[in-house]
Structures are given as C-alpha cells and as structure tokens.
Structure 1
Amino acid sequence: MERGRVGVLTIGQSPRTDVTPSIKGILGSNIEIIERGGLDRLTEETLSEITPGPTTTTTYISRLRNGKSVKIDKNKLLPLLQEELTELEKETDVTIMLCTGDFPTLKNTKPVLYPDKVLRHSVQAIMTKGTLGLIIPLEEQKKSLVEKWHGIGMDIVVEAASPYEESDLKGAGARLKEKGADLIVLDCMGYHESHKNEVKQVFDGPVILPRTLIARIAAEYVF
C-alpha cells in the first residue's frame, strides 16, 4: 500500500511541534506529514512585515519555530500563505489548514481541509439551537470571530484565553458555563488536549478541540 502524504500548513512557522504529534497520533505511522508555514521565509528581522497595524481588520496569532507567539495581520499573511500552499501541494495528497480562520481567496489544486468549515458543520450537526461558547486566543478577535459564527441560529458567548501563553482556560470555561453555554468550541488550532481537559473540569457539556477533529477527517480521506 502506498504511503499517504498529508500536508500541514500553519499560518506561523513550521514545524509545529506543539500540534503535529496530536495529528500524527490519529493518522498513524503509515501517513507521512509534510509541514510548511506562512512565515517560514521570514526571519526575526523581517517579522515586522506581518505585524498588525492601525488599518488591520483581522488579527491572527500563531507560533514561531522558536516557541514564541506572534500576532499576524491576515491581509499581509495571505500572499505568503498562498506561496507555501502552492509548494506544499506538489508533495501531498491533501492539506490541513492549521488555523480556524477563513481563507476564501486561497487557490488550491488538491483538497484543503479548513477547520472553520468543519467546525461550523459539526456544531450545527450537534445543535440546532441553544448557546455556543467560544474560547478564543485574543480579546481583539472577539468581533471578527462572532461575525464568523453569525448565522448558525444560536446565541454566542465568548471568553479569551491564549493557548500560547499562561492563561486561565478553566476560568474561561467556568464563565461560559455561567453564561449558559451548551457546547464549547476551542476556536484555535493552538489549543491542545490538556486545554480541553482543563475546560472539561468545570464544564460537563461537549467541548470540541479543532486539531483532533480535523485530523480525524483527514484520516477518513487518506485511508
């Protein structure tokens, strides 16, 4: 049997040693993972090129290969991300986008699994009404992420707790419970299994972790 090849495209820098072990654990040893990052070609000196400024409309946060986090202006990121996706598709069968944001302008020649689309449809499959709780990395993302989830037919409550810095995930989960959340989505690929476990300690409803959800979809595609 030919070994499958799955691309992992991060909006930060590769390799994402904090994420890919989770994906690899689900895909198994027969699947080769090839990583690229939108910021791979930038150096510490040129990272200022993607820094959010006064005209930034959408801010993302991701991880550099040195372990530090970085805030990113989406519009400045897009051409860099397109270059890396184009190269990645030459080596892979399917690509996992390692971000829960939306990227409708990216052009692809092979399947790309976008977590935001999978998350939205998964939530709507589980719930048709009620209150959706979101845990997001940054306070300044609240407006854009509420807009992203708008139209699902549910009330939305939000708390911020970064997966890349010391933060109170348990407290965020408790506050969402107090606000009436029926389901919680950890709306960033940076959240890992221990973050989900922290939230589950104070919230007894469903908690969706994007990295493992999208890895299971990828496994269905390549097997």
Structure 2
Amino acid sequence: MPAGIVGVLTIGQSPRTDVTPSISAIVGPDVTIVERGGLDSLTEENLQLIAPDASDTTYISRLRNGKSVRIGKKKLLPYLQNELSQLEKETDIVLMLCTGDFPMLETTKPIIYPDRVLNHTVSAILASGSLGLIIPLVEQREQLEKKWEQSNLQLLVEVASPYEKSDVAGAAHALKEQGADIIVLDCMGYDERHKTEAVRVSGLPVLLPRTLVARIISEYISS
C-alpha cells in the first residue's frame, strides 16, 4: 500500500502530542495517524474509576492536559477495548502506545505491541550479558523483571519516570556502572532527548521504543 492510516492507542488520553510527532517524522507526511485513548471517555474528576489497587498491575500514562496518571490494568481494560474497537474501523494497523502486556485485547486489524518488539530485538542483539532497564515506576519493578526474564541475561533496573521530574541520565549512568551492555527505555513516554542523554552519559546502545516501533510501521505500510 502506498500510504496508510495508522491507529495510535494510548492507555491514557489522546491526543498524545508528546509522542505522535516522533512517529509522524518516521512514517512520513503521507500517512494519516488517528488517535484514541483508553481514558478518553473519562474526565479528571472521575479518574478514580481506573485508580490501581494493591492487587492490580500499575501503569503510568499522560492525560491530554499534560498531567500524568497512574492506572490499574484490570480497571482500564474495558475502556481500552471499547476505544480499540472503534479505532480499528478507521485504520489499517494499530500501534499500542504502551510497553505493557495486553494479550487479552481483541482486534480484527494488525496490532503492534512494543513489548514484543523490544523483547525480540534485545534477544537478537544480546545473546548473553547484562540488560539495563530504565522504568517509570518502582511499583513496576517486579512485573517488568518477570516480563524480561531470560536465562541468558542479567537484569539491571533503575527507575526514572518520563512523565515527572526525574533523572534519566543518572539512571543510565548507574546502569553503566553496574555493567549493563545495552539499555532499554521501557516506556513509550521516553523521548529522543531521554535517549540522547542516556547515550551521552553511558556510552551504551540505547533502545527507544517509540522510534523503534515507528520504523516497523513505516516498513509495513510502505510494502
């Protein structure tokens, strides 16, 4: 197809003006991007409906007003599925704008999950050694360690949120000092500036999910 319509599904609210420009720059001006968010139907006053509890997986995302929000996965899923069902009617392919695990979503269109792309990319690049992860929340540490667990890799984890004031460069430096061979910025909220700083202080290869998956989408829609 010479051009296409790409759906971008965020777990927060759309539009994601902090992310979609990065994707647009890679897929090109001929590609139309349609955005929807799992929290689009909620207002700031009723966000307690998706607040995480102790038994749930916690994610963090962005509201359209620029504020960050913590989200309980189980509570999010019905809202997210509803938005996806509408989005797929308008698009050729959907990008899940989260590096979390969402195998339970139902769709009739191709959908790209960044967590799968990242896992396979790291496996292809790093046969053995130390994988450095920078993650947004300390509450996600145990969950993400399980997601990345591979018998041939040692996991090193530092926390620095892309949505709140935090020290991504310091986290990258700490991973370098601990012996990381490669760093993954494990959230779609990390941007090109975060990657530049991480590379500068660590001197290591750094994978940025938003640009990695955008290049895969570009390859798909130009075929």
Give the structure-2-normalised TM-score: 0.97
SS in 1 for 2:201: coil
Distance 1:103 1:152, change over 3 A: farther
After TM superposition, the structure 1 = structure 2 runs for residues 71-90 of structure 1, keeping only pairs within 5 Å, are 71-90=70-89
After TM superposition, the structure 1 = structure 2 runs for residues 18-29 of structure 1, keeping only pairs within 5 Å, are 18-29=18-29
SS in 1 for 2:195: helix
SS in 2 for 1:142: helix
The residue aligned with 2:197 is: 198
Check the 8 A contact 1:9/1:98 in 2, yes or no. yes
SS in 1 for 2:44: coil
Name the CA distance, whole Å, in 1 between partners of 2:214 and 2:99. Answer: 13
Check the 8 A contact 1:7/1:96 in 2, yes or no. yes
The residue aligned with 2:208 is: 209
The residue aligned with 2:160 is: 161
Distance 1:95 1:102, change over 3 A: same
Give the structure-1-normalised TM-score: 0.97
SS in 1 for 2:194: helix
The residue aligned with 1:148 is: 147
Name the CA distance, whole Å, in 2 between partners of 1:194 and 1:97. Answer: 22
Query: What 5-or-longer segments of structure 2 have no aligned partner?
Result: none
Amino acid at match of 1:64: L
The residue aligned with 2:33 is: 33
Check the 8 A contact 1:182/1:205 in 2, yes or no. yes
After TM superposition, the structure 1 = structure 2 runs for residues 1-223 of structure 1, keeping only pairs within 5 Å, are 3-56=3-56, 58-151=57-150, 153-223=152-222
Check the 8 A contact 1:4/1:31 in 2, yes or no. yes
Name the CA distance, whole Å, in 1 between partners of 2:212 and 2:77. Answer: 24
Q: CA offsets, 1:116-164, max 9 Å, x none?
A: 0000000011011000000000111100000011126200000000001
Amino acid at match of 2:200: Q
Q: CA offsets, 1:49-75, max 9 Å, x none?
A: 00012332x100000000000000001
Check the 8 A contact 1:59/1:72 in 2, yes or no. yes
Moved more, 148-157 or 128-137: 148-157
Name the CA distance, whole Å, in 2 between partners of 1:205 and 1:166. Answer: 23
- Percent of aligned pairs with the same residue? 64
Name the CA distance, whole Å, in 2 between partners of 1:106 and 1:142. Answer: 23
Amino acid at match of 1:33: I
The count of aligned residue pairs is 222
Q: CA offsets, 1:64-107, max 9 Å, x none?
A: 00000000000111111111111000000000000000101111
